[in-house]
Structure 1
Amino acid sequence: MAAYSMVSVPKQGNNPGVPEGKKNVVIIFDFDQVKTYTRDEKSVTVSAFELNTGVTPIGLFVDEGTIDAGDEVEGDAYARAFIHHVNADHPGTGVAVAEFKANNVNANLGVIIMPCDPSATTAKIYGTPCAPLKMQAANEQDTNEAHKNHFELKTEQRTYPVGIMAKTLIPATDNNEINAYLGLPVPSGV
């Protein structure tokens, strides 16, 4: 990798800290099914991303107001790096979400979160091939107050910061309605 040269980071507009809306469907995939994943020389931009032949990610409907995603620095001196996390609530307690939990509780997951702004050209990708997200919590609430599942995904190893990728690199999910909603190509035969 080429060495990073420091450059200025000026103010990004008048309101750079205003929260950015997010789509209420997150894309989830298994890092064990990733064929290609590369970052550029500055370690942030994902420059290539491809799943194995015949593999598609899934879309998980979430309450967009509950999405809490990011990275944190941790570690001792000269060993610091980033831990990623994605937390969100899925409204509902049906069979499909229970099957997702049961079959992915120990999987090596990655999550792509897309901004709500239709003019945005990038999305954020959480987890890396060597530091995938793991389910830390998948708690169902089935009470007179709510029917939902709360998910907490977190990397267990330190890695690069959260990745930024072009929307054109995001593969279509297994659901055409979700693909259309997210602005992804709608493949034939899905």
Structure 2
Amino acid sequence: MSTIKFKFDGNLDYQQKAIESVVALFEGQPLANETYSVSIGTQDGGSQLSLGDEEFSNIAAVANQLVLTDELLLENLHKIQEDNNIPLQPELAGHHFSVEMETGTGKTYVYLRTLFELNKRYGFTKFIVVVPSIAIREGVQKSLEVMREHFKELYDQMPYDSFVYDPKQLGQVRQFATSNKIQLMVINIQAFDKARAI
């Protein structure tokens, strides 16, 4: 019995442009120091992560630390918007940005590959992919399995872990927080809302 193996083209111009648009938003961000860590506690603000659970207090966590000012982020955003003929946003409304692509253009591939580019250029290691349904969550996890070899070829065998968030598997969340390699947590919005309500 033969196995079907997918072959991915990593050089499609429109996908590269979408990836570069996201990566360029962080222009000026220094490459993260691998030894940077924070303590997880019940404090809010800064780089502190509040999980509100004794089980996670006083463990070291590796964080994505954004050092860019809002002014520089807005300047970068304006450059991207000009390059893509998008009206300029007058000010930042938080740190929420979106890339819109047509159906069938490889959105899942683009955002997953973008995570690896963000790691390569800035050292970011923590990524949470929030999806609208369980079916899409399963599709993303399957895509990660199918694309694993492709991403390893493109990014010099860069190790990464991916998992679907399960509140009964808190060890995975601990691994997500403490590992210095790329971590991808996939969660559907309903589970995210339920986790925030706890």
Q: TM-score, normalised by structure 2?
A: 0.24
From the two aligned structures, give the one with the greater strand fraction: 1
From the two aligned structures, give the one with the greater helix fraction: 2
Q: TM-score, normalised by structure 1?
A: 0.25
